[in-house]
Structure 1
Amino acid sequence: MAGSIATAAALVGAVSSAAAPQDEGQNRDADPGTDQADRATANKTNPIAVSTYSYWRYRDDSKLSIEECIDLAADTGFDAVEILHVQMQDESNATLQRIKQLAFRRGMSLCGFSTHQSFVSPDAAKRQEAIDHTNHCIELAYAMGIPTIRVNTGRWGTSGSFDELMKNKGIEPRLEGYTDDDGFKWVRDSLEQCLPTAEKCGVVLGLENHWGLGRTADGVLRVVGEVDSPWLRVTLDTGNFLEDQYAQYRQLAPEAVFVQAKTYYGGGTWYTLEIDYNEVAAILKAANYRGYISLEFEGKEAHETAIPKSLQMLRNAFANA
């Protein structure tokens, strides 16, 4: 359509130039419609969502239901909600449709589904369990009208607890007798078995920089490059790079289909990062990322005050990018 308009404008310009002289230097091919479209794109800001994780946070004193999180998000002024899968208490179709209807009635999109799996295991049966689980999560997302799910590479599991993993900045020893190349092959082969379901349902898998083999941008991009499918892209989490964070954001931004934005008001649960969201917004704008920014509040402050502050900060950063 844009090409047809430009061609028509050029023909009109040619006829006009034959009928009347024009001032030297005047743009004969100017297309007001294209200029307006460019300005509209430049002025469009990223929609700001919130993950239900921001309210739930694995804390005993904040186990809100997904429906309660949607209501709170709508009342606070978010554009959309990302659902944390492990928070779901009921996966029946009636519940999925009730969640979808509630979001619709509150004027909210359901924009993402944050899932957990690990494909890093020498045990083929365990990898198959993770494949089956991921395919199931794709179908849950489809039932709720959600266009993307967060997936993980998984990790070696030699750290014991997650707290221990965090103390070691996400670094853990490999399983004895295996290499990273073994792990990457398991991840690649497993994700390839999820692609038919993703394509059938129209749900993009967003591989997150989430510890394990996906701890670095290089690791995430290695998997995405080796799988080489439009149904596997990147979920960029601003809080999961503990070194060279802005350089790694730049690496992932061109492949991102979803962005999770961490904030830490009151101090982080495991650590606190200083994140300049003006810089993050500039990086994403340079990569022409126009998708959702989903808040993952991971601080100790009460959500009643921390989440509205986070929303305002993110709105300001992305409006000024």
Structure 2
Amino acid sequence: MQFGISSYSFQPLLRRQEISLEGVFEQIAASGGTHMELATMTVGQSPETMMEYELYEDAETRRRLEAAAENSGVALSGLCIPASFIDEDAATRRAQIDRAKRYVDLCADIGVGFLRTDVVPWALRPESYVQVEALFPVIVEACLEVAEHATSRGVVTSIENHGFLMNSSERCRRLVQAVDSPNFRMTLDVGNFLCVDEDPLMATRNCLDIARFVHVKDFLLRKRYPGPGWLETLGGRHIVGTVFGFGDLETREIVRAILSSGYDGYVSLEFEGNEPTLMGCDTGLANVIRIFDEVTAELAA
């Protein structure tokens, strides 16, 4: 098992220029991590322009990433990009697919084995099952094309249970099954299932056999509106991020499920809470490593 942190966790500091890319690698190393997963939106100019920023066109940032990984001993484990394969305009949809394939090429060129692509806008909430069923074959077609290109470059692409439309364990399993490629798997986020009101432990168990990358995070969960700053789930509950181990997820049982499944790949912490960023990342990763170690010992006893 290799533990690390997503650059997304450091987004507030990166946006305010209070930490550099190099500083992120150094912070992860100091926290005991061995890898960083790069969300490309964290190196774009702003959230408003993240769909326009392209890392594959930014040679200077690529050079800095490679140098920082080498100098810190923290590997660059994967890339995460925003994408949408459902635009009704054929030219726009084609551009999004070709863009994803260029990121496959970038991964291959810099020795990164994993690329997570969104397939719909994160904030898109399904209007009906009719809408989901209409979009499904369009998404499958695009994911298959990207996966076939990834096969030729030795890269694994993935869907993440992310947002509201392409989420839930069954929907993600269905997509992976429909694409039917060893180079298209799942980035399993143990917390994001709450966005669609699915039990994180049960959903994690349901998806571990198709997972090739794991995100760990924690949320506070409330049935009634607790005030501003909380995300409303599809079912009308409310969640907010917190330090891993501080929230309402059954973190120890989720870790037990991961270990019992035989998964032995990258585990990436995503911290998105209101606590100070460095505290959330450092304490969160320490809790991740501690809980994995404790449960490993329990399973071996």
TM-score bracket for the superposition, by shorter chain length = 0.7 to 0.9
List aligned pairs for 1:295-310, cutoff 5 A: 295-310=269-284
User: Aligned equivalents of 1:253 and 1:312: distance in 2?
Assistant: 23
2:245 aligned with 1:279? no
User: Aligned equivalents of 2:148 and 2:109: distance in 1?
Assistant: 16
Identify the range of structure 1 (223-232 vs 100-109) with the bigger mean alpha-carbon deviation. Answer: 100-109
CA distance 1:110–1:139, change in 2 (3 Å): same
User: Aligned equivalents of 1:179 and 1:172: distance in 2?
Assistant: 7
2:74 aligned with 1:108? yes
Aligned-residue offset at 1:200: 2.2
Greater strand percent: which structure? 2
SS of the residue aligned with 1:205?
strand
User: Aligned equivalents of 1:263 and 1:99: distance in 2?
Assistant: 28
Aligned-residue offset at 1:212: 4.1
List aligned pairs for 1:1-321, cutoff 5 A: 46-57=1-12, 60-61=15-16, 64-89=19-44, 91-155=57-121, 162=123, 171-174=125-128, 179-242=131-194, 243-263=198-218, 270=231, 271-272=239-240, 274-321=248-295
Code of the aligned partner of 1:173: E
CA distance 1:152–1:172, change in 2 (3 Å): same
SS of the residue aligned with 2:264?
coil
Aligned-residue offset at 1:62: 6.0
Q: Contact (CA 8 Å) 2:12, 2:277: kept in 1 or not?
A: no
CA distance 1:312–1:183, change in 2 (3 Å): same
Q: For 1:8-27, what per-residue CA distance to the aligned partner results, in whole angstroms no more than 9, with x for missing partners?
A: xxxxxxxxxxxxxxxxxxxx
* TM-score normalised according to structure 2 size: 0.79
Identify the range of structure 1 (83-92 vs 279-288) with the bigger mean alpha-carbon deviation. Answer: 83-92
SS of the residue aligned with 2:87?
coil
Q: Contact (CA 8 Å) 1:153, 1:213: kept in 2 or not?
A: no
Code of the aligned partner of 1:133: R
Q: For 1:169-217, what per-residue CA distance to the aligned partner results, in whole angstroms no more than 9, with x for missing partners?
A: xx43159xx6322211010011111123211221101210012432111
Code of the aligned partner of 1:236: L
User: Aligned equivalents of 1:81 and 1:319: distance in 2?
Assistant: 20
CA distance 1:62–1:227, change in 2 (3 Å): same
Identity of aligned residues (%): 27
SS of the residue aligned with 2:70?
helix
SS of the residue aligned with 2:265?
coil
Gaps of 5+ in 1: 1-45, 166-170
Q: 1:15 matched to which residue of 2?
A: none
Q: For 1:81-102, what per-residue CA distance to the aligned partner results, in whole angstroms no more than 9, with x for missing partners?
A: 1111122346434532331232
Q: 2:48 matched to which residue of 1?
A: none
User: Aligned equivalents of 1:57 and 1:216: distance in 2?
Assistant: 28
Q: Contact (CA 8 Å) 2:80, 2:116: kept in 1 or not?
A: yes
* TM-score normalised according to structure 1 size: 0.74
Code of the aligned partner of 2:127: P
Aligned-residue offset at 1:76: 2.2
Gaps of 5+ in 2: 45-54, 221-227, 232-238, 241-246, 296-301
